[in-house]
Structure 1
Amino acid sequence: MASEIVKAGGARPLTVWYNTRCPVCDAGIRHQRNRLVEAVKAGRIEFLDINLEPDALVRFGASLDDIRRRLHATDEEGRLLVGADVALAIWRRTPGQAWIAGLLGAPGIHTLTCFAYDRFADLLFAWNKRHGRW
């Protein structure tokens, strides 16, 4: 399984699972992947389609619909990140965008960031379901 890859020296990449069938999700990840070309090439971050490995995060209790609803990732220590925390982790690694993670992940703001992300994700998930993007 791709998310189990461990590089020489024991380091795992940040592995981001997302729904390629969602045009908004796919475009957003494609944009970030293009900004992170060097990190992707170096194996520090990877972006994977959950539709190709629907059971990839079952060990964390995450269903396919959970991952289609919100971004999920495993960090370098193998911990699960969900929703806004995945976006923050990606921005921290993206040249010129670490400030976004610093701002939206700041104490007091993080709760608002997660709330806003979750509401947007709920709307996007419902929209994708209505349009049969499964």
Structure 2
Amino acid sequence: MTAALDRPVPAPLTVFYDGACPLCRREIAVYRALRPHGVRWVNVAAPGAAAVCPLDPAQLLQRFHVRWADGRMESGARAFIALWRRVPRLAWLGRMATVPPLPLVLEAAYRLFLPLRPRLQAWAQRRKAAALRRRCRG
């Protein structure tokens, strides 16, 4: 058997993300391109997403969330750490981020970022609209 077949397949991790947010879409695209192991993606902003969401979609849109196969939910920095551990190129970062006090430091940084997110989203939307206008003018 090859080494790849000898590795256990990790239980699915479901990532809930805001597909209406340009920053979130870009970030998720980067993670998807890095081919994480055993990850399912749920765009919480998509029509009908509420049917597959374990929490109210509005609550899921407030913070980054993941759900383990056993139903446990993680949010904020712990959710990012769980995802990083599934991405081969970022697994080292995910392991390192579990060493105390790093989870607490990362959560504090995430909480500082959250109030800035709407402004960054608006900036990204303006930038995208400006690029589209430039392309249309030709």
TM-score between the two structures when normalised by the length of structure 2: 0.70
Q: What letter is aligned with 1:116? A: A
Structure 1's 124 and 77: CA in aligned 2 closer, same or farther, altered over 3 A? same
1:98 matched to 2:94? The reply is no
CA RMSD of aligned residues (A): 2.3
Offset, 1:101: 1.3
1:70 matched to 2:63? The reply is yes
1:31 matched to 2:27? The reply is no
Match of 1:4 in 2: none
Counterpart of 2:50 in 1: which secondary structure?
Answer: coil
CA–CA separation in structure 2 for the residues paired with 1:92 and 1:49: 21
The equivalent position to 1:57 in structure 2, one of 54, 68, 74, is: 54
* Aligned residue-pair number: 112
Match of 1:22 in 2: 21
Q: What letter is aligned with 1:23? A: P
1:54 touches 1:64 (CA, 8 Å); kept in 2? Answer: yes
CA–CA separation in structure 2 for the residues paired with 1:117 and 1:26: 18
Unaligned runs of 5+ in 2: 1-9, 126-138
CA–CA separation in structure 2 for the residues paired with 1:95 and 1:78: 23
What is the CA deviation profile of residues 84-130 of structure 1, one whole-angstrom value per residue up to 9, with x for unaligned ones?
A: 11111111011121111122221111101111012212321465489
The equivalent position to 1:88 in structure 2, one of 81, 91, 96, is: 81
Counterpart of 2:41 in 1: which secondary structure?
Answer: strand
Counterpart of 1:78 in 2: which secondary structure?
Answer: coil
| Higher share of residues assigned helix | 2
Q: Percent same amino acid at aligned positions?
A: 25
Unaligned runs of 5+ in 1: 1-10
Match of 2:4 in 1: none
Counterpart of 1:106 in 2: which secondary structure?
Answer: coil
Structure 1's 12 and 97: CA in aligned 2 closer, same or farther, altered over 3 A? closer
* Over 3 Å off, 4+ runs: 125-131
